[in-house]
Chains A and B, each alone.
Chain A
Amino acid sequence: MDIQNTQSQMRKGVLEFCILSIIQQGEVYPSDIVEKMKQANLHILEGTLYPLLTRLKNAGLLNYRWVESVTGPPRKYFVMTEEGKAAFATLLNTWNEMAGSVQALIQKNDTITSSEPNQVS
């Protein structure tokens, strides 16, 4: 089995959710998203982020605002729409459920496979 592939699949699954959760906290500039993700030890390239934001915006989950900056031209800040908030709530729900179930599974597995430690990935 391709571990790397699975790993990336997992990350891909939650990436949108992570970004939404950051934006949900308030108006944000894309590079700040990258920064916050980094703090949470999740790495994302801006080149990946921009298309993602555009896609979410086109889907109606996000909106943006031009904010005047002191140093140069205005910058694009992203905010969440009502629709986005609803979507985020659904996703949050799903996440909680899933995290709980996965955690439960892992713990059960731990008790079973404690005698065979090399099974833990």
Chain B
Amino acid sequence: MNKVININFQGRILPIEELAYDLLKQYIDSLRTYFVNEEGCDEIINDIECRIAELCDERLKKGTPCITQDDMNLIITSIGRPADFEAQDGFEKSTASSANSANDGRQQNGNQNTNNNTNSNFYRNGNIPKRLYRDEQNKVLGGVCSGIANYFVIEPWIVRILWLFLIGLNILVYIILWIAVPSSSVKEVGGVRKRLFRDIDNKIIGGVCAGLSKYFGLRVGIIRVLFLIPFIRFIINFRHIHLFQFWDFPDFPNFLDITFSPGAVFIYIVLWLVLPEAKSSADKLEMVGEKVDLNSIKNTIQNDMEGFSKRAQNWGSQFSKKSRTESGEQKAEDRNEGRDEQSNGAHENSSNMTYRENKGCLHFIGMAITISIKVFVYFVLAIVGISLFAALFGIGAAVTAVYPLKKFVLEDGAQSWAAFGTIVLFIWVPIVGIVTAIIRKIAGFKKTNVWIRSSFWALWIVGWVMLFYFGSSVGNSFTKHNKPVEQAIALTNPGINYLEVTATPKMKYYEDNWFKISEFVDYGDEDTIFVRNLRIRIVQSTTDSFQVKVVKLSNGKTVAEANSLANKINFDLTQQDSIIYLDKGIGINAKDKFRNQHAIMTIAVPIGKRIKISNKGWSQTNININHRGMRTETIDRISSDDDWYNEWDNESFSYDRGVTYLMTSTGLEKIGRADIEDKEDDKVEMSDIENQLNELKLERERLEGDLKKSREQKIKELEKIDRALEKKSADKKENKGLTNNTSLLPDLNKVNKVASKLADMQSVFDRFHY
């Protein structure tokens, strides 16, 4: 279905399809640009228009109701397009155009100069000064190098080699020049213009690669590979994205590095969004740049810019004035001067040229601004989108990974189901939905399946409901907390000068991680997780002895529940000389659930005494320190139960583990490593380790002795057997051999057992040594 319009064309009324009319207009425009420098340009165009009108009339007389697009194409083909003139033309441009006779630039320039003077009638483009063009005829990739070579009248290979030497930075520059510098074929035909479209006929994803290949006249495969290599790298390096720390982008892929990064993917997406599809046949022709050689956009913009031309001229003259004064001021700088002189020369030489250049300049600036704004907006949107998606995905992955631990937190029944539903419906459904949508878009399904889409939405809404139920029910079981009771831990010798707090060396917990399932003997046969919910506060003591107090805290649905949970907290604290051994965390079993059980240990350090918190196996424990030591009567002063739940972050400062601190009247002070007593501490520590070492050594010796004894025994037995064997007759040898073996087997087992025990001891030993 096409709209038909009536036009008055060269004295004839023609009914013509709108698309055909567009085609005609484009064709006439292309002719006009082609013949623009020709003497009698208007006359030629007029004659051709007359002829077209005549041909149209003939067609109408044959009975066609209107001029269709096909008719117009036929007519245009019969008359010929500027590109066809190229091949056939009799007189023009055989020597004047640089690209046609694909020789070196020197000859061309020479020809141009001589021809300009003699035959300006026949050789158009004669007055155009030297400009940088990309050489389409001698191109390897985009013709930039050979264009530059032409411009400076040197051999292209020199430029290429120089270019290769400076590769890296130049890839971008090359691409920019490729796009910005007009092709020599453009100059030749006088405004043939290709436009970059997405080629949806040959697309795989969005047709960007196909469109680019059409635009640059390269094979599609090359461009696809150029896009794919960085993308594959991106996939391989995907783990660099810290899913859980996406907000501070430590290793977030560098989108700006275009060559080897997801930048290519990004460029693809941006191009996908920005480029129009080649929908109509005119678009397709324009995309290839073969048949539609016109420059409709450029022309319209040029027309629009007519009004700007005066302003542009003013601007240009202002610029030249400015540059003149500048050049006067900065005579020392040769480069600037040269440039200014050039620009002055250009302005003075031909006002026509400045006209055009300024127009082009403004046009280019306008385009650049709009494009850059567009790109920026899409860039930001895409980053936000990608981050959100990554976050969603990260949450999904994290929650799914943690899901097996639900029995430690959630009650069976509705709450568990709600958790499951939330994970599946609220998190994974949208992820799957987005991925499917992207794949569908990539695959080019145009019909969006209503059923699939609405079911996705419905599931997601159910997911929201689940989320709310889950959140409220879980939140509910955390609402109340127990009444904190502070237990004073009696120290055997509170008057000591030095106290060290360290993790228990008992193999009670196997791992140092946060949520780690581990079975251990102390809790029977039940699975238990172990939560590092321990905080240590260090305050100033009012007396001259150390005081240690522990508060066990828990949340729960009711206060009673919270109290019972708090009582159940099994948190061991043992003292050995000046060292306090603590459990590394609080065990939580599936029956009692995790209700934010935590313990706060307060250590009151008297003034003038030292404390050290060892750094082994503690990494996740919170240590809060009363910086100024002002909270001296800690325990008594805390009247409200809630105070235990407040964070004291505002009073805490960074505490270095493994460093000895001295309590002074103003607070804790770090004691340097050079301190003598510090060394003594090290010695204490060392002697402790040495004791353990010695014990282990003794154990080892004992075991080795056992082994030796048993070995000797066995050797004796073997000797006995051997002796017996000698006595026996030959026919009973086999039986003897059998008994021999059987008697040896249990001994071997014993030896193995002892050996494995030894190995165990060795590993334990190593551990301590570490």
Nearest CB to that of A5 among chain B residues? B101
CB pair B47 A50 closer than 8 Å: yes
- A30-B51, A48-B85 given; A58·B39 CB < 8 A: yes
Cβ–Cβ < 8 Å partners of B47 in chain A? 30, 50, 53-54, 76
CA distance A73 to B53 in the complex (A): 10
Binds A, one of B73-81, B260-268, B281-289: B73-81
Nearest CB to that of B87 among chain A residues? A8
Is A51 located at the chain interface by the 8 A CB criterion? yes
- A72-B57, A76-B47, A76-B50 given; A45·B88 CB < 8 A: yes
In chain A between 4 and 36, which residues have their CB closer than 8 angstroms to a CB of chain B? 5, 8-9, 11-12, 15-16, 30-31
CB pair B43 A73 closer than 8 Å: no
CA distance A55 to B121 in the complex (A): 8
Is B54 located at the chain interface by the 8 A CB criterion? yes
Is B337 located at the chain interface by the 8 A CB criterion? no
Q: Which single member of B80, B94, B122 contacts A45 (CB below 8 Å)? A: B80
Is B31 located at the chain interface by the 8 A CB criterion? yes
A83–chain B nearest beta-carbon distance, Å: 16
Cβ–Cβ < 8 Å partners of B84 in chain A? 45, 47
Cβ–Cβ < 8 Å partners of B38 in chain A? 51, 54-55
- A51-B35, A73-B10 given; A11·B90 CB < 8 A: yes
Cβ–Cβ < 8 Å partners of A89 in chain B? none
- A30-B51, A55-B91, A73-B11 given; A47·B57 CB < 8 A: no
A72–chain B nearest beta-carbon distance, Å: 6
Cβ–Cβ < 8 Å partners of B44 in chain A? 50-51, 54
Nearest CB to that of A69 among chain B residues? B54
Cβ–Cβ < 8 Å partners of B57 in chain A? 71-72
Is B12 located at the chain interface by the 8 A CB criterion? yes
- A9-B94, A73-B12 given; A47·B54 CB < 8 A: no
CA distance A53 to B40 in the complex (A): 11
Cβ–Cβ < 8 Å partners of B79 in chain A? 45-47
CB pair B80 A46 closer than 8 Å: yes
Cβ–Cβ < 8 Å partners of A58 in chain B? 39-40, 121
In chain A between 66 and 105, which residues have their CB closer than 8 angstroms to a CB of chain B? 71-73, 75-76
Q: Per-residue CB proximity of B326-349 to A under 8 Å, as 1/0?
A: 000000000000000000000000
CB pair A72 B91 closer than 8 Å: no
CA distance A51 to B93 in the complex (A): 13
Is B695 located at the chain interface by the 8 A CB criterion? no
CA distance A31 to B50 in the complex (A): 11
B134–chain A nearest beta-carbon distance, Å: 21
Is A52 located at the chain interface by the 8 A CB criterion? yes
CB pair A12 B11 closer than 8 Å: no
CB pair B54 A72 closer than 8 Å: yes
CA distance A11 to B89 in the complex (A): 9
CA distance A45 to B53 in the complex (A): 17
A118–chain B nearest beta-carbon distance, Å: 27
Mostly helix, strand, loop or mixed at chain A's interface?
A: helix
Cβ–Cβ < 8 Å partners of A43 in chain B? 88
CB pair B11 A48 closer than 8 Å: no
Cβ–Cβ < 8 Å partners of A72 in chain B? 11-12, 53-54, 57
CA distance A43 to B53 in the complex (A): 22
Is A44 located at the chain interface by the 8 A CB criterion? yes
Q: Per-residue CB proximity of B51-65 to A under 8 Å, as 1/0?
A: 101100100010000
Q: Which of B31, B89, B121 has the most CB of A within 10 A?
A: B89
Is B256 located at the chain interface by the 8 A CB criterion? no
CB pair B91 A16 closer than 8 Å: yes
B560–chain A nearest beta-carbon distance, Å: 99
Nearest CB to that of A9 among chain B residues? B94
Q: Which of A46, A50, A59 has the most CB of B within 10 A?
A: A50
Cβ–Cβ < 8 Å partners of B82 in chain A? 47
Q: Per-residue CB proximity of B20-60 to A under 8 Å, as 1/0?
A: 00000000000100010011100110011011011001000
Nearest CB to that of A19 among chain B residues? B90
CB pair B91 A12 closer than 8 Å: yes
Nearest CB to that of B45 among chain A residues? A50
- A55-B39, A58-B40, A73-B11 given; A47·B85 CB < 8 A: yes
CB pair B48 A15 closer than 8 Å: no
CA distance A50 to B121 in the complex (A): 15
Cβ–Cβ < 8 Å partners of A11 in chain B? 88, 90
Cβ–Cβ < 8 Å partners of B81 in chain A? 47
CA distance A58 to B31 in the complex (A): 19
CB pair A48 B40 closer than 8 Å: no
Cβ–Cβ < 8 Å partners of A12 in chain B? 89-91, 94
CA distance A11 to B84 in the complex (A): 15
CA distance A9 to B16 in the complex (A): 39
Nearest CB to that of B47 among chain A residues? A50
Nearest CB to that of A46 among chain B residues? B79
CA distance A75 to B51 in the complex (A): 9
CB pair A48 B90 closer than 8 Å: yes
CA distance A57 to B121 in the complex (A): 13
- A8-B88, A12-B89, A55-B91 given; A46·B48 CB < 8 A: yes
Cβ–Cβ < 8 Å partners of B54 in chain A? 31, 72, 75
A88–chain B nearest beta-carbon distance, Å: 16
In chain B between 79 and 119, which residues have their CB closer than 8 angstroms to a CB of chain A? 79-82, 84-85, 87-91, 94, 101
B464–chain A nearest beta-carbon distance, Å: 67
CA distance A12 to B38 in the complex (A): 18
CB pair B91 A52 closer than 8 Å: yes
CA distance A51 to B121 in the complex (A): 12
Nearest CB to that of B51 among chain A residues? A46
CA distance A59 to B238 in the complex (A): 72
Cβ–Cβ < 8 Å partners of B31 in chain A? 47
- A54-B40, A55-B121 given; A48·B51 CB < 8 A: no
Cβ–Cβ < 8 Å partners of A47 in chain B? 31, 48, 79-82, 84-85
CA distance A82 to B51 in the complex (A): 27
In chain B between 632 and 673, which residues have their CB closer than 8 angstroms to a CB of chain A? none
Cβ–Cβ < 8 Å partners of A55 in chain B? 38-40, 91, 121-122
Cβ–Cβ < 8 Å partners of B40 in chain A? 54-55, 57-58
Cβ–Cβ < 8 Å partners of A8 in chain B? 87-88
Nearest CB to that of B76 among chain A residues? A47
CA distance A27 to B91 in the complex (A): 24
B43–chain A nearest beta-carbon distance, Å: 5
Q: Which single member of A46, A50, A52 contacts B90 (CB below 8 Å)? A: A52
Nearest CB to that of A13 among chain B residues? B90
CA distance A74 to B94 in the complex (A): 35
A119–chain B nearest beta-carbon distance, Å: 26
Cβ–Cβ < 8 Å partners of A71 in chain B? 57, 61
CA distance A47 to B52 in the complex (A): 11
CB pair B121 A31 closer than 8 Å: no
CA distance A30 to B47 in the complex (A): 10
Nearest CB to that of B122 among chain A residues? A55
A60–chain B nearest beta-carbon distance, Å: 12
A56–chain B nearest beta-carbon distance, Å: 10
Q: Which of A11, A30, A48 has the most CB of B within 10 A?
A: A48
Cβ–Cβ < 8 Å partners of A54 in chain B? 38-40, 43-44, 47
B397–chain A nearest beta-carbon distance, Å: 64
Q: Which of B11, B78, B79 has the most CB of A within 10 A?
A: B79
List 20 additional contacts besides A46-B78, A55-B121; criterion CB under 8 Å. A5-B101, A12-B90, A15-B90, A30-B51, A45-B84, A47-B79, A50-B44, A51-B35, A51-B44, A52-B90, A53-B47, A54-B40, A54-B43, A54-B44, A55-B122, A57-B40, A59-B121, A72-B53, A72-B57, A75-B50
Interface pairs (26), CB distance under 8 Å: A11-B88, A12-B91, A12-B94, A16-B91, A30-B51, A31-B51, A44-B88, A45-B78, A45-B79, A46-B80, A47-B82, A48-B88, A50-B51, A51-B35, A51-B44, A52-B90, A55-B38, A55-B40, A55-B122, A58-B40, A71-B61, A72-B12, A73-B12, A75-B50, A75-B54, A76-B47
Q: Which 4 A-B pairs have the closest CB atoms?
A: A45-B80, A47-B80, A15-B90, A73-B11
